[in-house]
């Protein structure tokens, strides 16, 4: 039964990946249909669509490889690589990423599971920003995730109840969905690092996710 439960999580994550890739891949296909057009404006528009969509597809695949794969042979991932991947992934959703500069050392590397905990946490908080906004990161120790805080700020900032249900570490596998599986992964990775996640609605435009 445990193996089937693990398969459930894998199925949901695969569905999430496919969902996020359908849009740019479909746009590439749509653009290719008009590349043989004799109309210059239509040709240029189609070429731009193919170029932009191909870039988005590659960036999303690279992001999923980093957050769900092994990320290469190393057991550590550089902060610069993590930050760049998150910025690129969030950019399409009109979300900017900021961090507490004084808490980040140049060339810092995080253990792979620590990096994934942080990245999944950021994805959860991105779901709080349906109209875009800002996500701010801070921590007293990025290696151990002590006092790590992820803050979302933006118009209509809120976390849907279905997504929030994934933050319950006791959630049953049968209750996991495509919408809350990312939150579930965040909880599991933070738990692996000995941390519990606490969600705080500060105001109508601000929510905090704190590791304690």
For the stretch 164-196, pLDDT in tens is 999 999 999 889 999 999 999 999 999 999 999
The DSSP H or E segment spanning 86 is helix 79-91
Do residues 118 and 65 both lie within one domain?
Answer: no
Do residues 81 and 54 both lie within one domain?
Answer: no
Cβ proximity of 133 and 157 under 8 Å: yes
- How are beta strands 133-138 and 95-99 bridged, if at all? parallel
Distance of CA 95 to the CA centre of its chain: 11
Instruction: Of 44, 50, 54, give the one whose Cα is nearest residue 32.
Output: 50
CATH number at 115 reads: 3.30.565.10
- Residue where a domain stops, chosen among 69, 103, 125: 69
| Residue 142 DSSP label | T
- Residue where a domain stops, chosen among 49, 69, 89: 69
Q: Is the pLDDT of residue 138 over 90?
A: yes
Q: Tokens 């040709």 correspond to what residue? A: 43
Contacts of residue 90, defined as CB under 8 A and 6 or more positions apart, other chains included, come to 96, 97, 122, 126, 135
Do residues 186 and 211 both lie within one domain?
Answer: yes
Average pLDDT of the chain is 90
Give me the domain span that covers residue 133: 76-212
45-70 mean pLDDT: 91
- How are beta strands 109-111 and 133-138 bridged, if at all? unpaired
Q: How many domains does the chain divide into?
A: 2
Instruction: Of 126, 123, 9, 127, give the one whose Cα is nearest residue 64.
Output: 123
For the stretch 80-125, pLDDT in tens is 999 999 999 998 889 999 987 555 666 789 999 999 999 999 999 9
The DSSP H or E segment spanning 190 is helix 181-192
Contacts of residue 49, defined as CB under 8 A and 6 or more positions apart, other chains included, come to 27, 28, 30, 31
Do residues 179 and 99 both lie within one domain?
Answer: yes
For the stretch 8-34, pLDDT in tens is 899 999 999 999 999 999 999 988 888
């Amino acid at each position: 039964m445990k193996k089937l439960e693990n398969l459930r999580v894998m199925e949901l994550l695969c569905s999430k990946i496919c969902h996020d890739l359908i849009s740019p891949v479909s746009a590439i296909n749509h653009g290719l249909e008009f590349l043989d057009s004799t109309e210059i404006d239509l040709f240029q528009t189609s070429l731009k669509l193919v170029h932009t969509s191909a870039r988005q597809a590659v960036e999303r695949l690279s992001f999923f490889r980093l957050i769900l794969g092994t990320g290469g042979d190393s057991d550590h991932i550089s902060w610069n690589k993590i930050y760049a991947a998150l910025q690129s992934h969030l950019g399409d959703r009109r979300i900017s990423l900021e961090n507490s500069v004084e808490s980040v050392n140049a060339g810092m590397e995080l253990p792979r599971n620590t990096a994934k905990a942080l990245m999944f946490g950021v994805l959860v908080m991105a779901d709080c920003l349906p109209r875009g906004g800002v996500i701010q990161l801070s921590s007293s120790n990025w290696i151990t995730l002590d006092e790590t805080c992820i803050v979302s700020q933006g118009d209509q900032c809120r976390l849907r109840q279905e997504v929030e249900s994934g933050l319950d570490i006791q959630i049953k596998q049968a209750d996991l969905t495509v919408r809350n599986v990312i939150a579930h992964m965040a909880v599991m990775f933070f738990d692996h690092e000995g941390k519990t996640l606490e969600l705080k609605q500060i105001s109508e435009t601000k929510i905090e996710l704190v590791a304690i």
